[in-house]
């Protein structure tokens, strides 16, 4: 024979109807999914910037004075900067990098497609700041070849071997990349070594010889040149990520706050109605000697469980949505993370528990004598 404890009786008495609970959990899950999608988009943005700004083999970045990031650069480097950097003791390799926003057109006739992309010119197929992940094709080599992010290719309706017009000049797509999507724009890569005389140098990516002190080399480069900023790779990555995500950060904070409020309100509304529906059961429990604190705890437990179930459903749907977008509509790239899912789960459970506190006043107004009324 199973004997129910007071806590078990309370949880049973305050259990919401399955249909209402499912609808509330679905609402919470939708709010959690929205927050997770924003987190995944932000993480994808960080990945794309870091893949270029934090290119392997780069120890230092030489940038125009006042510039500390790849996304928003001001002007170009003075003439002779590249040769001067290469002459500094301890520098093993220094590659020029050209950065510019360029219009790209594809198609012809009445409906050509046009995008503005962030173009990076790198020094040959193995140049620093080139594409880190190729989906298909190869790194561009030659003055008319380009590689572009697959989201940009999808939006332009082009593939490998297709012609495009880049800044008024004809080019051919020879490679498609990923982890190069900045949401508002995407990266395009071209071979700077094939036409370096036509493009000003925006940055110099520096690799130091083995054993060279990074800080000492940075001081020597800064002393040898004027009008430039010398940054470590970590500093350049941090500045680039900050600039790339500055627009999405306020939106993420606003939507996350609204999502948590929606979750708390949904749970509060459900439990408010639950207290009214189960008023007689609550009165019986009080007449049997159950403490108000136990009833309050049961209400909060149900609230947290509803929020937890909903947010867990949202966390399970997020990678499925990311996979579907990756397969059928790669314009938006989502980088889901288990850490993000756990953080959102914890926040929404807390919000749900907070929502469970709202109906407590109505619950505590129930009198034990109501159990004996006809």
pLDDT at 371: 47
pLDDT at 284: 59
Could you give the residue ranges of the DSSP H alpha helices within 109-232? 150-156, 214-224
184-242 confidence digits (pLDDT tens)? 889 999 998 766 555 788 999 999 998 788 999 999 999 888 889 999 999 999 999 99
Residue 326 has pLDDT above 70, yes or no: yes
pLDDT at 282: 56
Distance CA 3, CA 92 (A): 78
Distance CA 317, CA 320 (A): 5
CA separation, residue 274 to residues 9, 21, 78, 235, 360 (Å) = 15, 10, 71, 54, 11
Q: What is the mean pLDDT of the chain?
A: 83
The stretch 40-45 carries a mean pLDDT of 90
pLDDT at 2: 40
Lowest-confidence range among 67-76, 160-169, 315-324? 67-76
23-36 confidence digits (pLDDT tens)? 778 888 899 999 99
pLDDT at 3: 38
Phi, psi of 124, deg, nearest 5 = 85, 180
Q: Where are the domains of the chain?
A: 6-48+247-372, 79-225
| Residue 270 CA neighbour count, 13 Å, CB half | 33
Q: Which residues contact 195 (CB under 8 A, 6 or more apart)?
A: 121, 143
Whole-number percent of the chain with pLDDT over 90 = 39
pLDDT at 353: 81
Whole-number percent of the chain with pLDDT over 70 = 80
Comparing CA positions, the residue from 149, 184, 164 lying closest to residue 45 is 184
The residue among 55 and 356 whose pLDDT is bigger is 55
Q: Which residues contact 93 (CB under 8 A, 6 or more apart)?
A: 57, 206, 207
CB atoms within 10 A of CB 33: 21
Residue 285 has pLDDT above 70, yes or no: no
pLDDT at 319: 93
Q: Which residues contact 297 (CB under 8 A, 6 or more apart)?
A: 7, 10
């Amino acid at each position: 024979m199973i004997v129910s404890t007071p806590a078990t009786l309370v949880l049973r008495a305050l259990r919401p109807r399955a249909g209402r609970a499912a609808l509330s959990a679905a609402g919470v899950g939708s709010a959690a999914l929205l927050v997770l999608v924003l987190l995944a988009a932000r993480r994808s943005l960080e990945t794309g910037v870091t893949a270029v700004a934090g290119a392997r083999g780069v120890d230092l970045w030489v940038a125009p004075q006042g510039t500390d990031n790849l996304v928003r650069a001001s002007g170009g480097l003075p003439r002779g900067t590249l040769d001067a950097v290469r002459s500094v003791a301890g520098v093993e390799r220094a590659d020029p990098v050209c950065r510019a926003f360029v219009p790209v057109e594809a198609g012809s006739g009445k409906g050509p497609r046009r995008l503005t992309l962030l173009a990076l010119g790198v020094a040959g197929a193995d140049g620093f700041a080139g594409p880190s992940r190729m989906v298909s094709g190869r790194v561009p080599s030659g003055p008319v070849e380009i590689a572009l992010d697959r989201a940009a290719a999808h939006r332009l309706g082009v593939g490998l071997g297709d012609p495009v017009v880049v800044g008024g000049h004809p080019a051919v797509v020879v490679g498609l990349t990923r982890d190069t999507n900045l949401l508002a724009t995407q990266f395009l890569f071209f071979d700077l070594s094939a036409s370096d005389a036509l493009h000003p140098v925006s940055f110099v990516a520096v690799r130091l010889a083995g054993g060279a002190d990074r800080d000492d080399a940075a001081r020597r480069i800064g002393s040898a040149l004027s009008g430039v900023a010398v940054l470590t790779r970590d500093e350049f990555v941090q500045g680039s990520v900050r600039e790339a995500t500055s627009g999405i950060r306020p939106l993420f904070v606003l939507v996350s706050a609204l999502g948590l409020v929606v979750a708390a309100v949904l749970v509060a509304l459900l439990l408010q109605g639950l207290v009214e529906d189960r008023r007689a059961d609550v009165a019986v429990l009080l007449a049997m000697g159950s403490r108000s604190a136990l009833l309050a705890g049961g209400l909060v437990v149900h609230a947290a469980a509803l929020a937890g179930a909903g947010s867990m459903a949202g966390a399970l749907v997020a990678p499925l949505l990311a996979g579907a977008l990756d397969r059928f509509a790669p314009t938006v790239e989502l980088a889901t993370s288990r850490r993000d899912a756990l953080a959102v789960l914890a926040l929404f459970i807390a919000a749900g528990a907070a929502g469970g506190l709202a109906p407590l006043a109505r619950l505590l107004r129930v009198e034990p004598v109501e159990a004996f009324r006809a």
